[in-house]
Structure 1
Amino acid sequence: MTAGLGVMTYTVLDQARADLEGTLARLADLGYLGVETYGLVEHFGPARVRDAISAAGLTLTSAHTPFPAGRDGEALLDTNEELGAGILVWSMEREEFDSPDAVRRGVERVNEAAERAAGRGMRVAYHNHFAEFSQVFGGRRAYDLLLELLDDRVLVELDAYWAVMGGADPAEVLSSLGGRARLVHVKDGPAVSYEDDVMVPIGEGRIDWDRTLTAPSGLRWHIVELERLHIDTFEALRRSYRHLTGRGLSRGAHVPAPAEELS
């Protein structure tokens, strides 16, 4: 089945903090099926966010939240249990890919989180930036070392845009991950600068989404994240939805536009 289409709430963070229920309702009206939370639970509390997602008719795809490890681990699990999150997504820091030893130390935290999350019936997923792919040790990408060291219970949320920034082909990465890749962040733009890129609606930038999203994988959700925009956020989300569903790449709530209208 074609993966469902969701939105990472960082995309609409300002709007949602001003009007949580109204913003989620607008996403549903556009045809999006789910959301990955970021920055809302800290503002509103898990119960209100959970209820607002449900009231909008959306699915909670995942929660973008720090790995539940160390002294704050149980509190993080408590919060996400109340939210109703089944998958907790986070990243290691850029400097943790400076050397193989740094990668190994960072992975200890992720694997601890996976163990603790499993005790609550949750899964942890790893979200990449670009250093995982740009850093190479003896001809081997840091990402490959990372995957080797991660607990088998750790899922993957591939950020295809940052993979391209790191010099990787996201279609090839997804194919190699197989069923481990459950989520993918879908963003588009020039793919030039990690700090300064301005995003554009999906299909209007550099990324080959037709190839990436049809690669064999275990993806269940395509999650649109548009971090910086020069146009109205909801207009960008509308055009992104139209592109992804109209080309049959993602599944939404509305009937997609005919293909000829997308040329």
Structure 2
Amino acid sequence: MTETATQDARPALGVMMYTVLAQARADLEGTLARLAALGYLGIETYGLVEHFGPARVRDAIAAAGLTLTSAHTPFPAGKDAERLLDENEELGARTLVWSMEREEFDSPEAIRRGVQRVNEAAENAAARGMAIAYHNHFAEFANTFDGRQAYDLLLDALDERVVVELDAYWAVMGGADPAEVLARLGSRARLLHVKDGPAVSYEEDVMVPIGEGRIDWERTLTTPSGLQWHIVELERLHLDTFEALRRSHDHLTGRGLTRGGDVPAPTEEQA
């Protein structure tokens, strides 16, 4: 399957596999089948290729009827570039997602140095027909220099081929309005990490099902942009992960904010 959403123009609904990493490492095929049964259409890989190898992960995604939205993998730059590109080419990934480090947003000079690595990755990826997507945390928005957000300095310096995976939750943590950021990004925004919670502490926040936390998803997800995928990521939970994913799917699709798959009707025993 390809990474492009078809027919329905709304972004499709996926899962960032960090959310179910322990479950997937214990039972890859069963976990992916369960995500598909919940109505998710795609996944962003994380920590699976290193564990199972790219071929098994690729085949398991296809067997579950899911789409590979993207691969969360280090920037293919420096000495590991060819290995990373080879792995992701075998996986079938077209978009490779990663972040710069928090300390790389401590000054404009640090940002410029860090961007060199991202732009090298973009050049390397383009030679394989792949794209690099930049994923933010909170320092990109919290840090400002002469009245400008570090994120703006980053975008100015990035190779124009680098697209964006916006993490709305961490943008809020940095003091930004994700709807406004999406409006600014326009067609450059391709992927959105959808997570919810109190948005108080980067290290300690416990996530909740989408729609049960602080983020205004109605406003954020109806902002015109180039988004193709809404990718749910719930990093720390105090309830069953699959229950949280079910409630997240129901909230997002029930309000028409995103496009999910068909969910089987409950049996009499489940009702």
TM-score category, normalised to shorter length? over 0.9
**CA distance, structure 1, for counterparts of residue 239 and residue 161 of structure 2:** 39
Q: How does 1:62-211 map to 2 (within 5 A)?
A: 62-211=70-219
**CA distance, structure 1, for counterparts of residue 227 and residue 207 of structure 2:** 23
Question: Per-residue deviation at 1:255?
Answer: 6.8
Supply the AA of the counterpart residue of 1:4: A
- Residues 14-71 of structure 1, C-alpha deviation per residue, up to 9 Å, x if partnerless? 0000000000000000000000000000000000000000000000000000000000
Unmatched tracts of structure 2, length 5 or more: 1-8, 266-271
Q: Which residue of 1 aligns with 2:22?
A: 14
* CA separation of 1:256 and 1:213: change in aligned 2, threshold 3 A: farther
* CA separation of 1:256 and 1:206: change in aligned 2, threshold 3 A: farther
**CA distance, structure 1, for counterparts of residue 174 and residue 221 of structure 2:** 19
Preserved contact between residue 37 and residue 264 of structure 2 (Cα < 8 Å): no
Q: Percent identity?
A: 82
**CA distance, structure 1, for counterparts of residue 44 and residue 250 of structure 2:** 20
Question: Per-residue deviation at 1:254?
Answer: 2.2
Q: Given the two structures, how large is their TM-score scaled by the length of structure 1?
A: 0.97
**CA distance, structure 2, for counterparts of residue 144 and residue 98 of structure 1:** 14
* CA separation of 1:200 and 1:256: change in aligned 2, threshold 3 A: farther
Q: Given the two structures, how large is their TM-score scaled by the length of structure 2?
A: 0.94
Q: Which residue of 2 aligns with 1:235?
A: 243
Structure 1 runs (4+) deviating above 3 angstroms are: none
Preserved contact between residue 242 and residue 256 of structure 1 (Cα < 8 Å): no
Unmatched tracts of structure 1, length 5 or more: 258-263
Q: Which residue of 2 aligns with 1:260?
A: none
Question: Per-residue deviation at 1:154?
Answer: 0.0
Question: Per-residue deviation at 1:256?
Answer: 11
Residue 41 in structure 1 maps to residue 45 in structure 2: no
For these two proteins, the number of residue pairs brought into alignment is 257
SS in 2 for 1:32: coil
**CA distance, structure 2, for counterparts of residue 176 and residue 248 of structure 1:** 23
Preserved contact between residue 88 and residue 122 of structure 1 (Cα < 8 Å): yes
- Residues 236-255 of structure 1, C-alpha deviation per residue, up to 9 Å, x if partnerless? 00000000000000100127
Preserved contact between residue 77 and residue 121 of structure 2 (Cα < 8 Å): yes
